[in-house]
Amino acid sequence: MRDAYIIQSVRTPGCKQNKGLYNQTRPEELIAFIMKAAVERTKNLKPEHLDDVMLGCAFPEAEQGLNLGRIAPKMAGFPDKVSGATVNRFCASGLEAIALASIRVQMGWADVTIGAGVESMTFVPMGGHVPRPHPEFSRTNPDMYISMGITAENVASRYNVTREDQDKFAADSQAKATKARDNGLFTEIVPTPAVKYVKQADGTYKKEQFIVQHDDGIRATTAEGLAKLRPAFAAGGSVTAGNSSQTTDGAAATIIASKEKCAELGLEPIARLVSYSTIGCKSDEMGVGPRYAIPKVLEQAGLTIDDIDIYEINEAFASQALYSIRELGIEKYMDRINIHGGAIALGHPLGCTGAKLTATCIANLKAVNGKYGIVSMCIGGGMGAAAIFERL
């Protein structure tokens, strides 16, 4: 197989569902912008050099439907020859898209591809607009349709992850994200245009544009403050809005090119996808997915936990992230895990998250002068995914 190199990886800021700065900005506009920005930021690369786009999206319907993987490249101004597909592996959709985009280059099916992710949870909420569980199957297998919050409660109670530990983990995530934002450490972010509709004196609305510079869900808090919140999913439970990921809008894009195309165009490789793994687990405790996916991908790559310089483990819930960290034996490396905060502070825009964390992982590897990074997450329905990236 051919060598496939990452030559660019960027993201938009993440903004809160409904109440955030993207609440009037359609998802097509977010993903079209970040793909165009990724190309424009890559020296010697032109839109006509692109072959294909793989776009992750967890709920590809309504504004995110009709194969947004094809629509977004056209909105970005890419030529007709740039094809596209929409990929859905729920929370790992963006990571799956990057893996598929890399495979296309490795197999010689394409020379330059984009692996990307998008989700507007404002326009298309969790579960979609018209969920339709199978009537008979849902009676015998209700866990396949279970609330993600209940799965987090299951992990907390089955594996003794205390409320105090969850709140401390969540407060630490917010503190790290606050420090990173205030010190300009989110170097993977591209300031992104958003829109709002402003009512005029005559009763009509005018569409106005403004720029979003930062993730808007970061909030200063303490474990003591979080302890005052009531359980969000189960009476007497330990999972709250404060120790869960934020529902978020956002987009991210990674450009992959063959070694030959890099040489021809003078493109500078910055990283490569070393290996990618997915694995199933019990659906009613889906949050344990990283605990199984990370060892699998390490074995595939011939590496150990000690070889990894940066871990980006999606904080769907503090309970599942903590459980996975403990079971993996990487608590000793907390200074390598989500060093600028995670989804509790920065948000979890479902189909975008894998692509977003890839951009963050590569940027953070550069910041610490590291070689290997892991991106991993749990996945609704009972799965885990993990990818190893090597900084070049």
Q: Which residues are the active-site residues?
A: 91, 348, 378
One-letter amino acid at 269 equals P
SS (H, E, C) 163-175: HHHHHHHHHHHHH
C-alpha pair distances (Å), 224 with each of 124, 126, 169, 228:
34, 29, 12, 7
Beta strands in 225-264 (DSSP E): 248-258
Please name the residue that has the structure tokens 């209700």. Answer: 142
Residue of 163, 129, 122, 139 whose CA lies nearest to 251: 122
Residue 287, classed as helix, strand or coil, is helix
Residue of 333, 382, 389 whose CA lies nearest to 359: 389
Q: How far apart are CA 168 and CA 250, in angstroms?
A: 26
Cα angle 363-366-368, degrees, rounded to a multiple of 5: 110
DSSP state, 293? Answer: H
Contact 343, 315 (CB under 8 A): yes
For the chain, the helix, strand and coil percentages under 3-state DSSP, each to the nearest 5? 40, 25, 35
Q: How far apart are CA 329 and CA 324, in angstroms?
A: 9
Contact 110, 52 (CB under 8 A): yes
